[in-house]
């Protein structure tokens, strides 16, 4: 046990066993701004072994009053938030394996970014992204901690595989653009800090396996009136997501390709409507002429000798039973789409 973590191991619910679980854990934090920054800092200091940080934006001067990981220099240099956050994590806790993903999490890359994560934590500032995370968490049974803050209000909700999801609690999700945001209504740094800290604590409880301690309610902090409440939640029998198992935000059509951060690979989705149509056995037979392909469970993997990248190295191709594919040794999304269309087919 690391001396750094001694004081938290004194907590009965955490202990040395909990610390060992944190060391072996992987958290996906989506959004690295005000909420995400607080969440990331606590999880890194707590000793969570692996952090994947996703944010598509760069640091701006107007962020600095509330985004605790960033400095004036980051804003001047317009550093990507995910990269600035990862750099700060490496300074705070060099033992943490941290992946900085400068990209938009959407239907095309959500699965890949969440691979191996024991918890997903919401540091986002938009509803669509949260609904994608909610769909992903419910479908893949990954605990998801939602957090939000605007003006003087903060809130958090833990979505666990056996409980209410975001859409149960907010069945009438407002249309994009209908809600106040931090850009329109303002926000106080400490209020975001509270919401982010509460979400980080919920995530730690999840990662050490103490689901019994996780607040199942909708936690609300109203700092205009200095009130904190946790409103009981329950699964809505009419919920399209966690009851109906329809994941419309995760299946929304859009970009078919997404770069996979740090892996030199591009994910390609089948053309809409083509999901589930791939016979891996038939495909394996078809690809034998192009290289050696091996079946590994629900996927087929190999290298295509007849299609090479700009360095003359054969592309790698992994095709999943649902028609999704990852083109490896490839950073060009159009080239990846071409490989998919040529070797997997629409």
- The residue from 48, 54, 80, 168 that contacts Zn ion (CB under 5 A) is 168
For the CB of residue 71, give the shortest distance to Zn ion in the complex, in Å.
Answer: 40
For the CB of residue 239, give the shortest distance to Zn ion in the complex, in Å.
Answer: 3
Cβ neighbours for 151, distance < 8 A, ≥ 6 positions apart: 180, 182, 185, 186, 187, 188, 191, 224
Under the binding rule (CB under 5 A), the answer on residue 89 touching Zn ion is no
CA 78 to CA 105: how far, in whole Å? Answer: 20
For the CB of residue 237, give the shortest distance to Zn ion in the complex, in Å.
Answer: 9
For the CB of residue 245, give the shortest distance to Zn ion in the complex, in Å.
Answer: 10
**If DSSP codes are grouped into helix, strand and coil, which group holds residue 151?**
strand
Under the binding rule (CB under 5 A), the answer on residue 160 touching Zn ion is no
105-127: b (≥16 Cβ within 10 Å) or e: bbbbbbbbbbeebbbbbbbbbeb
Q: How many residues bind Zn ion (CB under 5 A)?
A: 6
Under the binding rule (CB under 5 A), the answer on residue 191 touching Zn ion is no
Under the binding rule (CB under 5 A), the answer on residue 250 touching Zn ion is no
For the CB of residue 172, give the shortest distance to Zn ion in the complex, in Å.
Answer: 13
Give the range of 28-36, 125-133, 170-178, 239-247 binding Zn ion by CB under 5 A. Answer: 239-247
Under the binding rule (CB under 5 A), the answer on residue 326 touching Zn ion is no
Under the binding rule (CB under 5 A), the answer on residue 150 touching Zn ion is no
Give the pairing of strands 257-260 and 153-159.
unpaired
Under the binding rule (CB under 5 A), the answer on residue 79 touching Zn ion is no
Under the binding rule (CB under 5 A), the answer on residue 68 touching Zn ion is no
> 122 and 200 in contact (C-beta within 8 Å)?
no
CA 31 to CA 14: how far, in whole Å? Answer: 26
Which helix H or strand E contains 106, and what residues bound it?
none
**If DSSP codes are grouped into helix, strand and coil, which group holds residue 298?**
coil
Give the range of 35-43, 117-125, 158-166, 211-219 binding Zn ion by CB under 5 A. Answer: 158-166
For the CB of residue 160, give the shortest distance to Zn ion in the complex, in Å.
Answer: 11
Give the range of 99-107, 159-167, 179-187, 300-308 binding Zn ion by CB under 5 A. Answer: 159-167
- The residue from 148, 165, 250, 269 that contacts Zn ion (CB under 5 A) is 165
Q: How far apart are the first and last CA of the chain?
A: 52
- The residue from 66, 130, 146, 167 that contacts Zn ion (CB under 5 A) is 167
> 311 and 258 in contact (C-beta within 8 Å)?
no
Partner residues linked to 154 by β-bridges: 149, 221
Give the range of 51-59, 66-74, 140-148, 232-240 binding Zn ion by CB under 5 A. Answer: 232-240
Under the binding rule (CB under 5 A), the answer on residue 241 touching Zn ion is yes
Of 95, 138, 102, 137, which is closest to residue 119 (Cα–Cα)? 137
Point out which residues bind Zn ion (CB under 5 A). 165, 167-168, 239, 241-242
């Amino acid at each position: 046990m690391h001396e750094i973590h001694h004081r938290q191991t004194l907590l009965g619910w955490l202990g040395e066993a909990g610390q060992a679980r944190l060391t072996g854990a992987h958290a996906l934090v989506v959004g690295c701004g005000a909420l995400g920054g607080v969440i990331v800092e606590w999880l890194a200091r707590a000793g969570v072994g692996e952090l994947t940080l996703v944010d598509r934006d760069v640091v701006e001067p107007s962020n600095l009053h509330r985004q605790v990981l960033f400095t004036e220099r980051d804003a001047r240099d317009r550093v990507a938030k995910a990269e600035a956050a990862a750099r700060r994590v490496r300074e705070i806790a060099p033992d943490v394996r941290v992946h900085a993903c400068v990209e938009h999490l959407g239907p095309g890359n959500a699965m890949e970014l969440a691979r191996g994560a024991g918890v997903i934590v919401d540091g986002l500032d938009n509803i669509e992204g949260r609904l994608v995370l909610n769909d992903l968490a419910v479908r893949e049974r990954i605990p998801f901690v939602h957090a939000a803050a605007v003006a003087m209000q903060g809130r958090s909700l833990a979505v666990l595989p056996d409980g209410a999801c975001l859409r149960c609690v907010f069945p009438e999700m407002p249309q994009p653009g209908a809600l106040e945001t931090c850009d329109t209504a303002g926000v106080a740094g400490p209020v975001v800090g509270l919401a982010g800290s509460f979400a980080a604590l919920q995530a730690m409880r999840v990662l050490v396996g103490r689901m019994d301690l996780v607040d199942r309610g909708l936690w609300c902090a109203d700092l205009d009136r200095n009130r904190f409440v946790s409103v009981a939640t329950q699964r809505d029998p009419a919920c399209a997501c966690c009851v109906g198992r329809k994941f419309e935000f995760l299946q929304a059509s859009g970009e078919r390709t997404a770069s996979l951060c740090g892996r030199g690979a591009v994910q390609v989705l089948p053309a809409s409507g083509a999901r589930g149509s791939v016979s891996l056995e038939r495909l394996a037979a078809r690809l034998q002429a192009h290289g050696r392909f091996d079946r590994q469970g629900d996927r087929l993997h190999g290298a295509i000798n007849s299609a090479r990248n700009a360095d003359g190295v054969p592309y790698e191709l992994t095709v999943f039973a649902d028609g999704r594919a990852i083109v490896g040794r490839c950073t060009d999304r159009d080239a990846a789409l071409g490989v998919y269309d040529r070797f997997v087919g629409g």
